[in-house]
Structure 1
Amino acid sequence: MRLLVLGGTAWLGGEIVSAALQQGHDVVCMARGERPAPDGATLVAANRDDPESYSALGGTFDAAIDVTMVPAHAKGAVTALRHRVTDWALVSTCSVYAQEDMPGQDESAPLLAPYDGPFEAEKYGECKVACEQAVLAAYGDNALVARPGLITGPGDHSDRTGYWPLRFAHPVTDDGSVLVPDAPDTSVQLIDARDLARWLVVATERGTGGVFNTTTEHVPLSDYLALAREVAGYDGEVVAVDQQWITDHNIQPWAGERSLPLWLPQPEYAGFATRSVAAARAAGLETRPLEESIRDTLAWELRTGPGRPRRAGLSPTDERDLIAAARHDG
């Protein structure tokens, strides 16, 4: 198979290219050229802001996999390449859904209104809806739309899924305690980038079409934290704080500065990480044990340096102050 990967040099794109090369495919990456492509792939350096950029690609392709979140890029690519690429896959996101409080919803759940203007981070879900619409309109039954949940594994520079295993491996408080959310109703639903990449390549080989929630079965956040503690070999004290306490102390949910990664307030997000994955399982999605993803993510975190600037979580100073406040309040 001659495969075009639009992207292919960052985290997930690189995993897709590597998976395709392992399957013996001829892979061409189109990206800005700021990073090298994985060994064995051909890199075409181009800026997709220019509609003429696709002219740099030679020949035809059996399939393309696009990871873009920019509606103009998604639309421009399918417009320029519709008659040169047989099948098209788009990596979308479960953030396209309009309703976050209903557990167990499948791919038929209502979506956000599409936004096809310039990409805005706060409109991430809306931008992905517009990307989906462009691909589905151009390719119909030959389109594959993958809606992953939160992606984990080695290389997660968002710091959301590396935060907890690293924190348990390297506590930042003097006594080794770690602040955790007491959130019995919160779930997490993660997929390893390597598993997502492998499935995308296999599904593309098979000509699979349709829309799929490509993530794993959900597990309670408490179970995830317990597993992260076990993998990290942590036997210190966890200081658990409930949702009201978290809110009162201006700790952010999910990601970003001064946050508790993966935690989301309930019940308004009861459906965010509990989506049905039955369709993807039926289409051959296989995922590794969560413990393996945590272990490999921690190993990557330790290699890249525990002291690097973080994009999610609590700073050491914040955590020390918050633990002192929690003990005082308790």
Structure 2
Amino acid sequence: MDILILGGTRFVGRHIVEAFVAAGHRVTVLTRGQTAADLPAGVKHLTGDRDAPGGGLEALAGRRWDACVDVSGYQPRQVRASTAALRARVDHYVFISTVSVYAEQDREVVRESDPLLPACSDEAAAVTSETYGPLKVACEALVQAAFPDASTILRPQIVAGPDDYTRRYPYWPDRAARAGEGEGPVLVPGDGQDFLQVIDARDLARLTVWLTEARRPGVFNVSGPRLTWAEFLRLLGVREVRWASLSELQAVGAAPHEFPVFLPRGSAQSGLMNVDHTAALAAGLTLTDPAVTAEDTRAWSRTAGLAPLLPAARESELLAYLDAAADEHQGFGLP
């Protein structure tokens, strides 16, 4: 098949490109040309910018593909431009969305039939933590309207694995490695019974290929194995953990973003760690062992130069505050 990928030079897009090439397809990527990428031999490169006046997609003129995979559509104006330009140039449109489109993110379990957030209609809205989901809802609707019987919507949760420049998931395999070298204990929110559920980028990529080959329309949640944090830290090989309740962390000034990919059970977004993937499994999704995802991520990040989202000095500071608070609390009980 001839495949057009919008994006394709970083993380998820890169894995999708590699999966299509491995499956024997001819791949063209359309990017803004701002990110250097060592993609597999034979991949064709086109330059275009959906944010440019007039659509910025002149490079698509006179060309045709069997399918398009849109990895980089975040705002309605971008997807409006690409669906208009490709309506007569591709037979199938695959859109990489997100589980953040769901309105009731505390629901246990999150399924494809759950209600969505109101779509963001502001064409100029910036992508923020508040607008990300509503913007993707609007983008999904544009794809489905332009390709009513020939669109596939994939809704991954947090994506993990090698090449994850976001630094979110890699923090934990990297921190576990430092703990193995004597830098411990590892500070972790909760009591070990909260849940972590991520999808390996390579699993998402393989599913994208299979659904595209089958030209299978529909909406699919794409999520991985569900672990408790205690299980996750064990598979990382962490031996010394300093668990801290959210109230303890808040009392010493710790912010939620300092502990990436942690969502406490019972919180407003806890359902995003309980995402049903039954439909995706039936469609061919295969899941990498979480230990392999962690090992491969660490192997990549070892030379990636990622700065930890919770720096060692800050973690030590928080641990000292927690110990001092615990000592003070115990002191109240002395006669």
Report the TM-score when normalising by structure 1: 0.91
Match of residue 54 from structure 1: 57
The Cα shift of 1:54 comes to 2.3
Q: Measure, in 1, the Cα distance between the counterparts of 2:213 and 2:55.
A: 28
Match of residue 220 from structure 2: 212
For the Cα contact (< 8 Å) 2:96–2:154, is it kept in 1?
A: yes
The Cα shift of 1:227 comes to 1.3
Matched, 1:25 2:6: no
Matched, 1:142 2:142: no
The Cα shift of 1:208 comes to 1.0
For the Cα contact (< 8 Å) 1:172–1:316, is it kept in 2?
A: no
The Cα shift of 1:53 comes to 2.6
Structure 1 residues 287, 85: CA separation in 2 closer, same or farther (over 3 Å shift)? same
Match of residue 281 from structure 1: 281
For the Cα contact (< 8 Å) 2:76–2:135, is it kept in 1?
A: yes
For the Cα contact (< 8 Å) 1:37–1:43, is it kept in 2?
A: no
- SS of 2:147's partner is helix
Unaligned runs of 5+ in 2: 327-335
The Cα shift of 1:37 comes to 5.8
Of 183-192 and 137-146, deviating more is 183-192
For the Cα contact (< 8 Å) 2:254–2:318, is it kept in 1?
A: no
- SS of 2:50's partner is coil
Match of residue 80 from structure 1: 85
Structure 1 residues 2, 322: CA separation in 2 closer, same or farther (over 3 Å shift)? same
For the Cα contact (< 8 Å) 2:70–2:94, is it kept in 1?
A: yes
Q: Measure, in 2, the Cα distance between the counterparts of 1:175 and 1:70.
A: 42
Matched, 1:329 2:333: no
For the Cα contact (< 8 Å) 1:239–1:326, is it kept in 2?
A: no
Match of residue 38 from structure 1: 39
For the Cα contact (< 8 Å) 2:252–2:322, is it kept in 1?
A: no
Tell me the alpha carbon deviations over residues 206-252 of structure 1, each in whole angstroms, 9 at most, x when there is no partner: 11110010111322222112212x2xxx44x3211012112223323
Counterpart mapping for 1:1-330 below 5 A: 1-34=1-34, 35-36=36-37, 38-39=39-40, 40-50=42-52, 51-57=54-60, 58-67=62-71, 68-116=73-121, 117-118=123-124, 119-122=126-129, 123-171=131-179, 176-228=184-236, 230=237, 234-235=238-239, 237-253=240-256, 255=257, 259-268=258-267, 269-305=269-305, 308-310=306-308, 312=309, 314-330=310-326
For the Cα contact (< 8 Å) 2:105–2:270, is it kept in 1?
A: yes
For the Cα contact (< 8 Å) 1:183–1:243, is it kept in 2?
A: no
For the Cα contact (< 8 Å) 1:29–1:37, is it kept in 2?
A: no
Q: Which amino acid aligns with 1:38?
A: L
Q: Measure, in 2, the Cα distance between the counterparts of 1:9 and 1:91.
A: 15
Q: Which amino acid aligns with 2:96?
A: V
Q: Which amino acid aligns with 1:70?
A: Q
For the Cα contact (< 8 Å) 1:152–1:193, is it kept in 2?
A: yes
The Cα shift of 1:150 comes to 0.4
Q: Measure, in 1, the Cα distance between the counterparts of 2:169 and 2:145.
A: 34
For the Cα contact (< 8 Å) 2:48–2:58, is it kept in 1?
A: no
State the percentage of identical aligned residues. 35
Unaligned runs of 5+ in 1: none
Q: Measure, in 2, the Cα distance between the counterparts of 1:20 and 1:200.
A: 9
Q: Measure, in 1, the Cα distance between the counterparts of 2:181 and 2:321.
A: 13
Q: Measure, in 1, the Cα distance between the counterparts of 2:48 and 2:25.
A: 22
- SS of 1:16's partner is helix
Q: Which amino acid aligns with 2:45?
A: L
Structure 1 residues 15, 173: CA separation in 2 closer, same or farther (over 3 Å shift)? closer
Q: Which amino acid aligns with 1:36?
A: A
- SS of 1:157's partner is coil
Q: Which amino acid aligns with 1:141?
A: D
Q: Which amino acid aligns with 2:321?
A: A
The Cα shift of 1:266 comes to 3.6
- SS of 1:201's partner is helix
Could you say which structure has the larger radius of gyration? 2
The Cα shift of 1:302 comes to 0.8
